[in-house]
């Protein structure tokens, strides 16, 4: 199974969710789920924001960053589940299995910290972490029922 986190530019929220959720799955010995990320409007040569890299480090993830990936037909064909950061972003992902992260966990949208102060990034990271914990527990419960 492949999950793809989607945000606007693939420099803040979605790469943060990708790397953090990959770590969480590994720590919980949940195999068979590949996690990626992309952006709806990724700009060519954009990279993971320094603030996001800093926050990942604070969660014990050493990641040097990546070039932002744009949502492509290839990604649409290979991915089983798309998780957007806002409900509005869902309309830009032409696939069957598209949900916002907030919808999956009973929360609200994860707002974009881009261009804001570091506290906005911290707020985003805490919300994404909290939501991913809930999502992880749902996956664990499904695995236990199998």
Q: Where are the domains of the chain?
A: 2-139
Distances (CA, A) of 66 to 11, 14, 135, 138: 8, 12, 25, 29
Buried b (16+ CB within 10 A) or exposed e, 68-77: bbbbeeebee
Q: State the chain's mean pLDDT as an integer.
A: 96
pLDDT digits (tens, 9 = 90+) for 107-137: 999 999 999 999 999 999 999 999 999 999 9
Kindly write down the DSSP assignment for every residue of 91-145, as one continuous string: GG--SSSEEEHHHHHT-------TTS-HHHHHHHHHHHHHHHHHHHHHHHHHHHH
Q: How far apart (Å, rounded) are the C-alpha atoms in residues 49 and 76? A: 25
pLDDT value at 13 more than 80: yes
In this prediction the pTM is 0.96
CATH 3.30.565.10 fits 2-139, yes or no: no
User: What secondary structure letter does DSSP report for 1?
Assistant: -
Q: How far apart (Å, rounded) are the C-alpha atoms in residues 139 and 27? A: 13
Which pair of structure tokens corresponds to residue 124? 């985003």
pLDDT digits (tens, 9 = 90+) for 54-94: 999 999 999 999 999 999 999 999 999 999 999 999 999 99
């Amino acid at each position: 199974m492949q999950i793809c986190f989607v945000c606007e530019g693939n420099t803040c929220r979605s790469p943060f969710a990708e790397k953090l959720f990959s770590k969480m799955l590994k720590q919980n010995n949940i195999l068979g789920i590949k996690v990626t990320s992309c952006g709806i409007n990724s700009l060519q040569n954009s990279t993971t924001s320094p603030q996001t890299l800093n926050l990942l480090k604070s969660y014990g993830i050493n990641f040097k960053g990546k070039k932002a990936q744009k949502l492509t037909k290839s990604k649409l064909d290979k991915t089983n589940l798309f998780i957007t950061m806002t409900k509005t972003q869902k309309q830009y992902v032409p696939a069957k299995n598209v949900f916002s992260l907030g919808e999956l966990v009973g929360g609200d949208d994860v707002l974009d910290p881009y261009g804001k102060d570091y506290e906005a990034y911290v707020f985003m990271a805490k919300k994404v972490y909290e939501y991913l914990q809930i999502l992880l527990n749902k996956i664990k419960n499904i695995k236990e029922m199998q």
